[in-house]
Amino acid sequence: GNMGIARISEGTIKAGQPVALARPGAAKKTGRLTSLFIFDNLGKKEVQSASAGEIIMFSGLEDIEIGDTLITNEGGGANAAEPLPPIAVELPTVRMTLGVNRSPLAGREGKFLTSRMIRDRLFKETDRNVALKVEETDSADKYAVSGRGQLHLTVLIETMRREGFELEVGPPAVIYKENEETGELEEPFEKVEVRVPEEYSGAVIDMFNTRNGELQDMGLDDGGEAMS
């Protein structure tokens, strides 16, 4: 089943204890912890209880979502803590289409070729890759995959390729968002701060100019040059 990872902010939790997943304005999802682990160096070990400050891994609850609060549910939730404010996950900025390889060379490299295999693998990735979004398209052989930039999606594509999948990848497209107040379309952007020796500042500025970068501040810092 699904495994959840959480940091205990207060109290103690025990294996086998009735618990619930809660978030403000939503119904609780109840269950019982079937196993409880804490992280030990580079691995993890099973324990019977854990206290505030520990980072735990647990099982026994289905449909675990990022931002859920794990609370006790003994006595119908009596004396249970209030759910914490949910964590906001940044929205995707780039979209690609991934689908079945239709080229004349299809089937020569991978072993997972069908639309069903690709679909199952992409939706399985969303269980642990919370910034990824997968959507059906008008074509049964293609899926719209959105992520936090080209690197985010490139890592997914390369991982699937090494697992034996063969894909047809569409060009990346920027995801524009409509401003609710002005009605204008807005383009996502990233803020970057670079610290380099003074002799390299010109090359760095040229590199950002090719990507329509906008220099907001520039100055010397501890013998080097800083810009943002």
Query: What's residue 77's pLDDT?
Result: 55
β partners of residue 6: 56
Q: Identify any residues that bridge with 55 across adjacent strands, giving them in sequence order.
A: 7
Locus of tokens 């979209």: 95
Q: Are 125 and 148 in contact (CB under 8 A)?
A: no
Q: Which strands form 18-22's sheet, in the order they lie side by side?
A: 29-32, 18-22, 69-72
Mean pLDDT confidence for 151-180: 89
Q: Residue 142 pLDDT more than 70?
A: yes
Confidence (pLDDT) at 109: 78
pLDDT at 218: 81
Q: CA 74, 6, 89, 172 torsion: positive or negative?
A: negative
Q: Which pLDDT score is estimated for 79?
A: 60
DSSP the chain: --EEEEE--SSEEETT-EEEEE-TTS--EEEE-SEEEEEETTEEEE-SEEETT-EEEEES-SS--TT-EEEE-TTTTTTPPPPPPPPPPPPP-EEEEEEE--STTTTSS-SB-SHHHHHHHHHHHTTT-TT-EEEE-SSTTEEEEEESSHHHHHHHHHHHHHHTB-EEEPPPEE--EE-TTT--EE-------EEE-GGGHHHHHHHHHTTT-----EEEETTEEEE-
The arithmetic mean of pLDDT across residues 112-117, rounded, is: 86
Q: From CA 85, how far away is CA 22, in angstroms rounded?
A: 10
Q: Whole-number mean pLDDT of the chain? A: 83
Residue that wins the pLDDT comparison between 2 and 201? 201
Looking at residue 180, what is its pLDDT?
82
Strand pairing class (224-227; 185-186): unpaired
Question: What whole-number distance in Å separates Cα of residue 101 and Cα of residue 145?
Answer: 16
Contact 47, 73 (CB under 8 A): no
CA distance 40 to 17: 22
User: Is a pLDDT exceeding 70 seen at residue 158?
Assistant: yes
The CA distance from 184 to 223, in Å, is 43
What pLDDT, in 10s, does the model give residues 11-65?
A: 888 888 888 887 777 777 778 888 888 888 888 888 888 888 888 888 888 777 7
Distance CA 187, CA 78 (A): 47
What's the mean pLDDT in 136-146?
89
- pLDDT confidence of residue 36: 86
- Residue 224: the pLDDT is 58
Q: What is the dihedral of CA 108, 112, 118, 120, to 10 degrees?
A: 180
Confidence bin at 159 (pLDDT 50/70/90): very high
The pLDDT of residue 75 is 60
User: pLDDT class for 155, splitting at 50, 70, 90?
Assistant: very high
Considering only 17-31, 74-88, 105-119, 131-145, which range has the smallest mean pLDDT?
74-88
Give per-residue pLDDT as tens, 5-20: 888 888 888 888 888 8
**Does the structure show a pLDDT above 80 at 228?**
no
Lowest-confidence region among 133-137, 139-143, 179-183, 221-225: 221-225
Lowest mean pLDDT: which of 184-188, 190-194, 211-215, 221-225?
Answer: 221-225
